[in-house]
A and B are shown apart, each in its own frame.
Chain A
Amino acid sequence: MRQPAKESNRDDFGMQFCHPDLEPGSSFVGWALPTLSTLKFEMSNLKIFSRRKAKNENRKSPQIINHQLSMINLILCVLLLLSPSLYALERFPPPDFEGGYQMPQTQVPDARPAVWEYLDVAVLFAALLIGTWLVHKIRSRRWIVVLMLFSLAYFGFWRKGCVCSIGAIGNVAWSLGDPDYAVPIAAVIFFALPLIFTLFFGRIFCAAVCPLGAIQDLVVVHPIRIPMWLESALRLFAYAYLAAAVLFAVTSSVLLICRYDPFVPIFRLGGSFHIFILGGALLIIGLFIGRPYCRFICPYGVILRLLGRLSRKPVTITPDECIHCRLCEDACPFNAIEKPTTDWPEDQYTTDKRRLALLLLLVPVLIAGLAWAGARLGEPMSRAHRKVRLADRIYLENTGQVKDITDPSKAFRGTGQTAQELYTQANQIRSEFRIGGAVFGGFIGFVIAGTLVLLSIRWKRTDYIAHPGGCVACGRCFEFCPREHLRRGIIVNPAKDTNG
């Protein structure tokens, strides 16, 4: 390496930090910065700076400078440490190059063009249309699996699981709570389109369009039937998750669904290790309990479930009529096939009615009780918002309850905002959370009560049906139905044969 062109005889290292073009002492900054630096740099290193061509020889004596330095040192160090905004100063003005040097431009690579977003929407629409056609007209499990694989490849591995209908709940809720938030157009369409399809044709989206559903559906190897009461109880978690996701998004805290999306690390082959483990665990559980995420966790699934109950043309096991052969009874790994009901036993009639009346009375009690509990829970939940966490931390630091300072609090002190302003904002968020928490609790109370009521009602069913809310239209049961075999011509109807 080349030695310094001009070895300086300067002994006041503060000076050496200054750019040669700067008149020493003329600029406040020119003095301020070296003082900070002296704290960190070894003296020997500082000499290197003297390679800059020195122009000004008329300097003050080292003693005066040292005196000034020691005076300003402390004040400025404190000032500078506390305000990063001061850092953005030009300590060394850009040089005037003599050799005709062309200064390069900072490269700014473009983002993915917006066209791709519309392609995603088009693919979603096409996949939903094809899915509907496959489930209702072709009725082929094999082709549904093909579409599933396509969706897994496109929405999962190619789009890396981002822009998805489940996560879009968060975007939609966030934009309701934050008027400044620009919700992506794709997110709105991804949120609404599968809902509309479900209102018409059942949960086609779950069947073959959702990559999260597809990855789980493909690993179902040995499904175990779990009792209905357990199924209903576990599903309550999904409702709570939905309510929590909406609460945290409306308060602009966290996009819960996206942050804890269990399969995204698999799609991306990277990301949080904990989430990766969660996704792996769900897939292993999924070998035996079909689609655990869809049934017990997915917040979008519960919305689709409710809308699916109302769907115009729900998925049917049989292409035409049910012949009560019971062959499809065990076909569904997701507990969605419901048997015909028997007559209401006379002796149970009164007790059942009494129980239903009791449960109906319980509805307002549960709602009120859980709303109260939710309001109490609002404050701890508000710590999900970074401003609340920061305010708590700043309070602890300012009242001397903790000694060390954290990165966030350091950054906050650099902004020049007062602690009081932060406390006010945090209190505002806390009160939002108290109200939100009450709604959250009330909703969960309503769902629990509703589940209990629905479980205690005896529905009249004459045929084997796929529960329009619970059925994810995977198409497994089609091939169990002899009427389907007849439709495909695999077997021949002997009665028809003799007639024809």
Chain B
Amino acid sequence: MAEQKTSLDRRRFFGQGLWGACFAGIGTAAGFLLGKTKKPETLWQIDPSKCIACGNCATYCVLEHSAVKCVQAYAICGYCDFCPGYLEPGARLSTGAENELCPTGAIERNFIEDPYYEYNIIEDKCIACGKCVKACEAFGNGSLFLQVRHDRCVNCNECAIAAACPADAFVRVPVEHPYLLKGVKDHA
């Protein structure tokens, strides 16, 4: 009977020792990691200098409507009459819907003064297919580019678009500077 008791005690000793080790281990690991979090928290963003406007942003986002949208950097826009991002390459002198490059008609064209036109993105319509971005990059000033809109993005741990991005353009940016805008000196 006495032997039974010592064996139980030993078992309890080992159990409690293991428990203490686990507790200390978790505590140390958590403390160590919390020390590392002093770095600013991050959000997903697209680096426009790497983006190749492949169109993955439109389809890979876990949200029903992608959190990525096209944005317009007005400061570097040429205000072209024939905007390569707005009109089909084959378009004649008509801005009819059949000649618009955007599949959802998300680009709004406003006359400013002869011969300049302002182009605005209607974000609710934009699906982030990147067609206009590609065209503007190739034939215009590159003022149209894709950005993660943080009011829409749920900031997934494993961003599905980042995983599918062929150009490694999805980067984690600090919360203080959540956008990588073109034509803005602070960010560019």
A164 to B33, CA, bound (A): 17
* Min CB–CB distance A184 → chain B (angstroms): 6
Contact with B along A86-104 (1 / 0, CB 8 A): 0111111111011101011
Chain B residues, CB < 8 A from A103 = 74-75
* Min CB–CB distance B64 → chain A (angstroms): 4
- A40–B138 touching, CB < 8 Å: yes
Chain A residues, CB < 8 A from B158 = 167, 170, 254-255, 258-259
Q: Which of A110, A182, A415 contacts B50 (CB 8 A)?
A: A415
With an 8 A cutoff between CB atoms, is A185 at the interface? yes
A416 to B117, CA, bound (A): 36
* Min CB–CB distance A214 → chain B (angstroms): 20
With an 8 A cutoff between CB atoms, is B181 at the interface? yes
A192 to B155, CA, bound (A): 21
Q: How many residues of B contact A (CB 8 A)?
A: 82
- A97–B19 touching, CB < 8 Å: no
- B23–A106 touching, CB < 8 Å: no
- A109–B114 touching, CB < 8 Å: no
Closest A residue to B148 using CB positions: A111
Tell me the B81-100 residues at the A interface (CB within 8 Å). Answer: 81-82, 89-95
Closest A residue to B80 using CB positions: A92
With an 8 A cutoff between CB atoms, is A291 at the interface? no
A98 to B112, CA, bound (A): 10
Chain B residues, CB < 8 A from A163 = 157
Chain A residues, CB < 8 A from B140 = 91-92
Contact with B along A152-174 (1 / 0, CB 8 A): 00000000101100010011100
Question: Could you say which of A261-269, A334-342, A374-382, A473-481 contacts chain B?
Answer: A261-269
With an 8 A cutoff between CB atoms, is A319 at the interface? no
Q: Which of A1, A110, A307, A310 contacts B93 (CB 8 A)?
A: A1
Contact with B along A439-475 (1 / 0, CB 8 A): 0000000000000000000000000000000000000
Chain A residues, CB < 8 A from B79 = 92, 94-95
Q: Which of A84, A109, A196 contacts B23 (CB 8 A)?
A: A196
Q: Which of B34, B95, B137, B163 contacts A185 (CB 8 A)?
A: B34
With an 8 A cutoff between CB atoms, is A36 at the interface? yes
With an 8 A cutoff between CB atoms, is A8 at the interface? no
With an 8 A cutoff between CB atoms, is B103 at the interface? no
* Min CB–CB distance B159 → chain A (angstroms): 9
With an 8 A cutoff between CB atoms, is A108 at the interface? yes
Q: A97-B116, A106-B73 are in contact. Are A91 and B89 (CB under 8 A)?
A: no
Q: A45-B91, A91-B78, A111-B175 are in contact. Are A162 and B154 (CB under 8 A)?
A: yes
Closest B residue to A187 using CB positions: B157
Q: Which of A172, A192, A268 contacts B63 (CB 8 A)?
A: A268
- B163–A414 touching, CB < 8 Å: no
Q: How many residues of A contact B (CB 8 A)?
A: 88
* Min CB–CB distance B174 → chain A (angstroms): 8
Q: A92-B141, A111-B155, A182-B42 are in contact. Are A101 and B82 (CB under 8 A)?
A: no
* Min CB–CB distance A367 → chain B (angstroms): 20
Chain A residues, CB < 8 A from B63 = 268, 270-271
Residue of A94, A105, A110, A195 with most chain B CB atoms under a 10 A cut-off:
A94
A261 to B135, CA, bound (A): 37
With an 8 A cutoff between CB atoms, is B185 at the interface? no
A45 to B30, CA, bound (A): 63
With an 8 A cutoff between CB atoms, is B150 at the interface? yes
* Min CB–CB distance B82 → chain A (angstroms): 4
With an 8 A cutoff between CB atoms, is A53 at the interface? yes
Chain B residues, CB < 8 A from A187 = 157
Chain B residues, CB < 8 A from A182 = 36-37, 39-42, 172, 174
* Min CB–CB distance B158 → chain A (angstroms): 4
Chain B residues, CB < 8 A from A89 = 141-142
Q: A91-B140, A94-B75, A99-B112 are in contact. Are A51 and B82 (CB under 8 A)?
A: yes
- A171–B113 touching, CB < 8 Å: no
Chain B residues, CB < 8 A from A191 = 30, 33
A192 to B37, CA, bound (A): 14
Q: A108-B178, A162-B155, A386-B168 are in contact. Are A192 and B26 (CB under 8 A)?
A: yes
- A92–B29 touching, CB < 8 Å: no
A89 to B136, CA, bound (A): 11
Question: Could you say which of A220-228, A403-411, A491-499 contacts chain B?
Answer: A403-411
- B151–A109 touching, CB < 8 Å: yes
Chain B residues, CB < 8 A from A36 = 138
With an 8 A cutoff between CB atoms, is B104 at the interface? no
Chain A residues, CB < 8 A from B26 = 192, 195-196, 199
Q: A90-B141, A175-B36, A188-B30 are in contact. Are A112 and B155 (CB under 8 A)?
A: yes
Known: A105-B74, A106-B184. 13 other contacts (CB 8 A): A37-B139, A42-B90, A49-B80, A51-B115, A89-B141, A106-B74, A108-B181, A110-B178, A111-B150, A182-B37, A182-B172, A199-B22, A259-B163
| Residues of B that sit less than 8 Å from A by CB | 15, 18-19, 22-23, 26-27, 29-30, 33-34, 36-37, 39-43, 49-50, 52, 54, 62-64, 71-82, 89-95, 112-116, 118, 120, 137-142, 149-158, 160, 163, 166-169, 172, 174-175, 178-179, 181-184
7 inter-chain pairs at a CB distance below 8 angstroms, sorted by A residue, are: A40-B139, A45-B92, A106-B73, A111-B178, A185-B41, A268-B63, A271-B160
The 4 nearest A-B residue pairs measured at CB = A92-B78, A411-B167, A407-B166, A111-B150
